[in-house]
């Protein structure tokens, strides 16, 4: 049974009335999945936990804005991603330093992963080492399927700037992946 199947109209009404048991149940159903989303947009586990909490606070506060059209999970994911984006914008100066991906210590790059999960972890690790703006644009494009013009609007950047950051990110990730394959 999918997570979405746990949500029925009665449960949704309880959420909209602010029922604490319903809120706790919703949180328990989605905390792991949305922690993963927050982890894609943050540098540290602690930042991801903070954004998860902030995102759920907004979900509970704004649940009456959910019209019932479309997936509740999709609506909540959008709230979570927007929460992370607001955090990034608010901390823009903190995330501007470039990271030298070419000189990441070998013990921090997953070398020759033997299992699919190892590759997934390696890629997430590499994406998290990108400069925050590149990481955010890459995740919005690849993980969340936003178009370049939508990303530009969300981040208040020119579309050409977004494309440039995305291409740089992709090139850096390809270099790191190739390096991992060779070693």
Domains of the chain: 1-95 (1.10.1740.10), 98-183 (1.10.10.10)
Output the pLDDT for position 177: 75
What local confidence, expressed as pLDDT, does residue 117 receive?
54
How much of the chain exceeds pLDDT 70, in percent? Answer: 78
Distance CA 183, CA 106 (A): 9
Mean pLDDT, each 10-residue run in order, the chain (183 residues): 63 92 95 92 90 97 89 93 90 55 45 50 78 90 91 91 93 80 62
Given a contact cutoff of 8 angstroms between Cβ atoms, the answer to whether 90 and 50 are in contact is: no
Q: Residue 5: its pLDDT value, please?
A: 54
How far is Cα 105 from Cα 23, in angstroms, rounded to an integer?
43
| Cβ–Cβ < 8 Å for 11, 4 | no
User: Tell me, what's the pLDDT at 119?
Assistant: 62
pLDDT at 175: 83
């Amino acid at each position: 049974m999918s997570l979405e199947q746990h949500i029925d109209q009665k449960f949704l009404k309880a959420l909209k009335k602010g029922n604490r048991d319903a809120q706790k149940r919703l949180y328990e159903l989605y905390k792991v999945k949305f922690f993963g989303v927050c982890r894609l947009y943050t540098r540290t586990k602690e930042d991801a936990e903070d954004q998860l909490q902030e995102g759920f606070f907004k979900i509970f506060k704004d649940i009456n804005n959910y019209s019932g059209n479309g997936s509740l999970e999709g609506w909540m994911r959008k709230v979570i991603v927007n929460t992370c984006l607001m955090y990034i914008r608010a901390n823009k100066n903190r995330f501007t330093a470039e990271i030298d991906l070419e000189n990441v210590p070998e013990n921090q790059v997953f070398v020759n992963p033997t299992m699919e999960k190892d590759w997934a972890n390696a890629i997430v690790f590499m994406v998290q080492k990108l400069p925050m703006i590149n990481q955010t644009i890459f995740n919005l494009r690849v993980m969340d399927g936003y178009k370049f013009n939508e990303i530009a609007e969300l981040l208040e950047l020119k579309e050409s700037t977004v494309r440039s950051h995305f291409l740089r990110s992709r090139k850096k990730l390809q270099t790191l992946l190739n390096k991992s394959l060779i070693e």
